[in-house]
């Protein structure tokens, strides 16, 4: 009679113990969630005091505080920033895991972003994920003094006297490439301009010896480097992924390849390796302020950095500019007329720097407009080393130390109060009598702004305009699709997403 009771007792005790474990687990989970809520929600709301920007914790994507905004940001940063701008105004903060992302939208709010010195808003803490691509001691991984020397050498290679020589090289590469098109056909314009851009960039940056003898190897290695930069890279730059493995191997091979080129040039100074205007020649002679010479690995890293910046901007922008022009018959007609006015009865006449820089205002403004509508970088980021004061829409804000401070060219350059009919392709908005980009010093951000504006923007204008000048004079073109492709906001550097095919036919000349 006692056996059933004694037998039931352990079962009963076990049930109580199991209930206690479940309760303990539940309380633990509740405590963790409470701590997370306090850390991600309450703390961001209170940091910065009464003048801190409003904190965005809710999202239409999910009812869970903070989680919803993270998911929404992951799906489409631009759409989320646009929504928050409309709901919260020009300055707002979004908690993102353990980070605070504070956005400044609109010319007035953006001004401190571009004017603040590095001691207030720093790039180093933000772009460290590029070290595995560029290598150690290059750009954001270099000391401040060495970085200044590196940037000065880049600027030296991109000054006007060099651009005049680059124009002829870009035209030569363009005409040679277009010869492969034949008399007529169809092709993917994005793919074609990607190939052409890297050809012209290699000629100007690397020199004749690399372009003519090593281009295929350099192009393939660049491809692996480029594909080794993924969204995961930003947060975990050394994660053990296949893309990162190929990236690391490609950079090592690139260093080895250019090391041989540099050694050959130094060992054989009397041999003509290039005309001396390529940027590799400049980088080889760099000495830092302490007298130490630049290393071959750093030279390679600087070349990679320039190729990354130039390839992405020029390839994507030349594609967008062409597609927008082709999609607008009236603008297309005026572009062709502008080229005819410049070159008259000599459509094959050489393109020189003066013509490209001064005589093509409509093509120039079309490129600016393509950059306004489709900037390659949707976000520019800094780290607040110190508190930052911001005034916008009649309010004063204090951005706390430690915040990630961001602007979005994609959102900021489509504000209707700044740019009339902002979603329309209208290159005349930059022309005489309108000049909407000059309504504020920081309204237009096609190449960034302030002390960190892109030093390669003049090269980009020369490169793209030279290519398109030849292209529109050589061929009649039309889009196969009935609309311009969507913008691929899922990519690291955004380009067109959709059908970029064109139908082309060589123009008939009177000669």
- Average pLDDT estimate for 372-396: 95
Q: Summarize pLDDT for 217-228 with one digit per residue, the tens.
A: 999 999 999 889
pLDDT category at 250 given cuts 50, 70, 90 is very high
pLDDT at residue 15 in the model: 39
Average pLDDT, the chain: 88
- Give yes or no for residue 445 having a pLDDT over 60: yes
Q: Summarize pLDDT for 357-379 with one digit per residue, the tens.
A: 999 999 999 999 999 999 988 99
pLDDT at residue 47 in the model: 66
Provide the 10 A C-beta neighbour count for residue 171: 19
Q: Summarize pLDDT for 300-321 with one digit per residue, the tens.
A: 999 999 888 888 789 999 999 9
Q: What are phi and psi of 104, to 5 degrees?
A: -120, 115
pLDDT at residue 53 in the model: 96
- Based on its alpha-carbon atoms, the radius of gyration of the chain, rounded to whole angstroms, reads 27
pLDDT at residue 30 in the model: 46
pLDDT at residue 354 in the model: 94
- Give yes or no for residue 236 having a pLDDT over 90: no
Q: DSSP labels for 353-403?
A: HHHHHHS-HHHHHHHHHHHHHS-S-S-EEEEESS-EEEEETTEEEEEPTT-
Q: Quote the crossing angle between the two packed helices 296-326 and 329-343, to the nearest 10°.
A: 120
Interatomic CA distance for residues 179 and 329, integer angstroms: 26
- Give yes or no for residue 73 having a pLDDT over 90: no
Structure letter (DSSP) for residue 210: H
- Give yes or no for residue 42 having a pLDDT over 60: no
CA distances from 248 to 206, 235, 345, 415, 453 (A): 21, 17, 51, 41, 29
Q: Summarize pLDDT for 8-35 with one digit per residue, the tens.
A: 333 333 333 344 555 555 545 544 554 5
């Amino acid at each position: 009679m006692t056996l059933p009771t004694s037998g039931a007792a352990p079962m009963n005790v076990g049930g109580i113990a199991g209930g206690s474990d479940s309760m303990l687990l539940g309380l633990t989970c509740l405590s963790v969630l409470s701590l997370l809520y306090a850390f991600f929600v309450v703390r961001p709301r209170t940091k910065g005091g009464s003048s801190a920007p409003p904190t965005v914790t809710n999202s239409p994507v999910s009812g869970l505080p903070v989680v919803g905004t993270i998911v929404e940001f992951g799906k489409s940063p631009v759409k989320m920033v646009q929504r928050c701008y409309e709901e919260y105004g020009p300055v707002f903060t979004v908690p993102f895991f353990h980070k605070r992302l504070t956005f400044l939208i609109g010319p007035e709010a953006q001004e401190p972003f571009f004017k603040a010195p590095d001691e207030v808003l720093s790039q180093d803490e933000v772009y460290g994920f590029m070290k595995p691509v560029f290598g150690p001691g290059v750009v954001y991984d270099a000391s401040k003094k060495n970085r200044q020397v590196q940037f000065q050498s880049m600027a030296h290679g991109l000054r006007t006297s060099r651009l005049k020589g680059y124009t002829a090289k870009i035209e030569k590469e363009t005409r040679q490439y277009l010869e492969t098109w034949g008399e007529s056909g169809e092709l993917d314009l994005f793919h074609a301009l990607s190939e052409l851009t890297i050809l012209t960039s290699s000629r100007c940056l690397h020199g004749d010896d690399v372009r003519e003898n090593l281009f295929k190897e350099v192009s393939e290695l660049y491809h692996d480097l480029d594909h080794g930069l993924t969204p995961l890279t930003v947060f975990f730059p050394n994660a053990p992924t296949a893309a990162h493995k190929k990236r690391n191997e490609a950079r090592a091979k690139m260093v080895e390849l250019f090391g041989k080129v540099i050694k050959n040039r130094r060992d054989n100074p009397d041999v003509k390796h290039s005309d001396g205007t390529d940027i590799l020649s400049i980088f080889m002679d760099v000495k830092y302020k302490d007298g130490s010479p630049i290393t071959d690995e750093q030279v390679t890293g600087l070349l990679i950095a320039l190729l990354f910046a130039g390839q992405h901007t020029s390839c994507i922008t030349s594609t967008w500019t062409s597609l927008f022009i082709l999609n607008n018959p009236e603008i297309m007609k005026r572009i062709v007329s502008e080229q005819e006015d410049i070159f008259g009865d000599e459509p094959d006449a050489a393109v020189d720097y003066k013509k490209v820089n001064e005589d093509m205002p409509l093509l120039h403004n079309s490129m600016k407009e393509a950059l306004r509508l489709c900037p390659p970088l949707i976000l520019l980021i800094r780290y607040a080393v110190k508190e930052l004061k911001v005034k916008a829409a009649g309010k004063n804000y204090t951005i706390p130390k430690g915040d990630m401070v961001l602007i979005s060219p994609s959102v900021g350059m489509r504000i209707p109060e700044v740019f009339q009919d902002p979603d329309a392709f209208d290159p005349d908005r930059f022309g005489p009598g309108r000049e909407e980009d000059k309504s504020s010093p920081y309204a237009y951000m096609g190449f960034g702004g302030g002390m960190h504006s892109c030093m390669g923007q003049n090269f980009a204008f020369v490169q793209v305009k030279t290519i398109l000048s030849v292209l529109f004079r050589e061929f009649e073109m039309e889009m196969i699709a009935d609309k311009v492709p969507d913008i691929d906001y899922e990519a690291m550097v955004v380009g067109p997403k959709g059908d970029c095919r064109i139908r082309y036919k060589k123009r008939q000349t009177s000669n």
